[in-house]
Amino acid sequence: MGGQNRSTAVMQRRRVAPDSLDYFPTPPFATRALIEFLKSIGEDLATASAWEPACGEMHMVRPMREAFTSVRASDVHSYGDHELLDFALIGGGEPSVDWVITNPPFRLAEAFIGTAMQVALRGVAMLVRSAFLEGEGRWRTLFRETPPSWVLQFTDRVVMLEGRLVRRGAVDPFAARAGDKAASATAYVWLVWLKSDAGEMADTRLRWIAPACARLEREGDYPTYPVAAQPPGGMFDP
C-alpha cells in the first residue's frame, strides 16, 4: 500500500537538544513495563488521560497511546509535531490530566515532579537514574515530605544515549569508535506517586521489573539512522 510511513523505524538524524536539555530518548519497552505495572495494581488506563511533558521525538508517547484514552505531548524544544511548553516553569495549576509520565531532564527532575503532582489527578511516574534516590538535599526537599508510592527497579539495562535511540546491543552508528554497540553503565528506576496516597506517610514499596526488553519490544520501536551518510567523527549536527 502507498502513503506515508508512520513507523518510528524510518531514516532519522541524531537530535541533540540545545542548552544542555539532557535529551536521552527512552526505549519504548521501558514505558510498556510501567504501563504493565500500573495495570497490575488495578489502574484502568483505558479510561484515563496522560501527559508526557518532555516528549522529544515521541518515543514514550507512542506506547502510552497504546494504553491511554488520550495523551498530551509537549516539550520545551521543538523536535516535531508536539506542543511547545516549558513544563518546569508553569508552576502547576488546577489538575487537568489523570497521569503525568515522563523521563525528565536530570537537572530539572524535582521541578518536573513538583509541577506534575499539581496537575495530575491520579498519579505521577518519573523515569530517573537509580542514583536519584541518593542525596541528603533531595531527601530534605522531596522524599522526606513526598515519598513515592512505588520504586520500580529495572533488572534489564535500559540503554539511553544522548540524542538517539539505539536498540541495546546493536551497533551505535554515532559511537566514538566504529562498531561499538549501544550500552550503558547507568541503572534506572520508575518512581510512581499515587495521588490516593497523598497526605499519608506510607512506606515506599519496592518492586523489581522482571526482564522486559525482549518481551515488550515491538517492530518499529527503533529508528534507522543513515550510517553511510555520517561525517567524520561519527556524529551528525543537531
pTM of the predicted model, to two decimals?
Answer: 0.87
Q: Among the listed ranges 105-109, 111-115, 234-238, which one has the minimum average pLDDT value?
A: 234-238
Residue 228 domain flag: no
Residue 8 domain flag: no
CA-to-CA distance for 54 and 45, rounded, in angstroms? 20
Residue 13 domain flag: no
Cβ-proximal residues to 100 (8 Å cutoff; 6+ apart), any chain = 50, 51, 52, 53, 115, 116, 119, 120, 123, 124, 125
pLDDT reading at 238 higher than 60: no
Instruction: Specify the pLDDT at position 35.
Output: 98
Residue 9 domain flag: no
Q: Which domain holds residue 177?
A: 28-211
Residue 66 domain flag: yes
Instruction: Specify the pLDDT at position 208.
Output: 98
Residue 75 domain flag: yes
CATH classification of the domain holding 73: 3.40.50.150
Q: How many secondary structure helices (H) and strands (E) does the chain include?
A: 5, 8
Residue 95 domain flag: yes
Give the mean model confidence (pLDDT) for residues 30-43.
98
Residue 68 domain flag: yes
Instruction: Specify the pLDDT at position 65.
Output: 97
Number of independent structural domains in the chain? 1
Confidence class of residue 17 from pLDDT cuts 50, 70 and 90? Answer: low
pLDDT reading at 10 higher than 80: no
Structural contact between residues 60 and 26, judged by C-beta atoms closer than 8 angstroms: yes
